[in-house]
Structure 1
């Protein structure tokens, strides 16, 4: 599996690599280089390595698609909450960050075809057996990651089920709140939390309810009404790697 580094100081990540080679090539200044964000800490979609490089579902799908379509990009890890504002302001050209396709987000961004089905789970401390149903949430405290569909779910259902909501800036602090019993539960994408529990990264947590709603699709995003060419290349490249088996190869590594 190829691993790609986050590029800085004017270096560009190239997708014209031969399989198995880790070389980086710098392209001429007049070639278009897209600035594409990923979530800076969102295993198994984006995982930072000790050397600063990234791997994961989002990162490797993007690399494979760019290689098929022949476009270059600079991978830009960011806090999730800053990604849509960065798209709207034009700071970045695109985003692949485990972002669920929702009607609310479609007001600001255009999405690709869905590239991954990612349902949400309700997660508690491993020692907590008090929650097995939504009715058990009365009097509890939810930890939410800012800007996520998990936060929206909590805000929409807090009055219905009688719980309080606290908001955290990133996944790490949200999960730590539940692990340290500062909050009673959190909402996270099931593939994310199940992977992190499986590898021991979140050994103090467990899934209490594995599906809180019908699973949405994750999408690649660009600013609404702009970067149509990039969106088209992503969709066409996605179909190509589905057809040639590369998509299944990448997904299988993390499931």
Structure 2
């Protein structure tokens, strides 16, 4: 399915158009959120300031990555900075900075300092979620034990039932699940450890197979800076954090 996000500036009939893959990754992007989520709104409005209209194609993330890499669409949004993408994609300036932490039950004391402290701790994570090279190496070597499933809400149910001990997750995503998918009495049982195990930045990626994208990247970065300078960027992020993009 395709949506066209709203923008903060009027667009002329002669506007340029860019096609971007998008997906489900609440609270940052979702077809079920206003504007397609805060990331979608930021990208749309940054481009709109430079006379470019964004058309979003919502699809599974892997499919969007493949279509972008092959040049079937221009790119995608919400990607971390990974070397494996740099050969095929241009990376935008930072759209958002986030921290990944461990969620756990308040009734189950949990503390950690190094990955050695995590040995024997049963973790639950979503298939395909990336938590950085150090975590990936520890998981593959067996230093940490991670149960991977497809459903994020189910992970939190498993945590409540003590079938797992911690959930590694970006702070905002964890609390979005707790506030919108769990009963309030369930959410009150859960907290997160203050020490991040990974800090990351999120970006738009544009395929190098499409010649115009080098210029599009430059225009987007300029528009993003203008959006930040105007104060609208901070406004959009604040709205998202207080649940302002949830469709009642």
Seen in structure 2, the aligned counterparts of structure 1 residues 148 and 107 have a Cα distance that, compared at 3 Å, is farther
- Residue 118 of structure 1 contacts residue 216 of structure 1 at CA under 8 Å; is this kept in 2? yes
Map 1:84-233 to 2 at 5 A. Answer: 84-97=65-78, 99-129=79-109, 131-133=110-112, 134-150=115-131, 152-158=133-139, 162-169=143-150, 171-197=152-178, 199=179, 201=181, 203=187, 205-213=190-198, 215-224=199-208, 226=210, 227-233=213-219
Length-normalised TM-score, structure 2: 0.75
Structure 1: segments with no counterpart, 5+ residues? 1-5, 19-24
Higher RCO structure (Cα 8 Å, ≥6 apart): 2
Structure 2 gaps of 5+ residues are: 242-248
Query: Pairwise mapping of residues 23-34 of structure 1 onto structure 2 (< 5 A)?
Result: 32-34=16-18
- Residue pair 1:14, 1:73 contacting (<8 A) in 2 also: no
Q: How many residues matched?
A: 232
Q: Secondary structure of 1:254's match?
A: helix
Separation (CA, whole Å) in 2 of partners of 1:34 and 1:177: 41
**Over the residues paired in the alignment, what is the CA RMSD in angstroms?**
3.3
For normalisation by structure 1, the TM-score amounts to 0.74
The alpha carbon displacement at 1:82 in A equals: 3.6
**Residue in structure 2 matched with residue 37 of structure 1 by the alignment:** 21
- Answer yes or no: is 1:77 the counterpart of 2:58: yes
Please state how far the C-alpha of 1:237 moved relative to its aligned partner. Answer: 0.8
Q: Which shifted more, 32-41 or 62-71?
A: 32-41
Give me the whole-angstrom Cα distance separating, in 1, the residues matched to 2:208 and 2:153.
30
Alignment partner of 1:7 out of 2, 21, 31: 2
Note the C-alpha offset of 1:160. Answer: 7.0
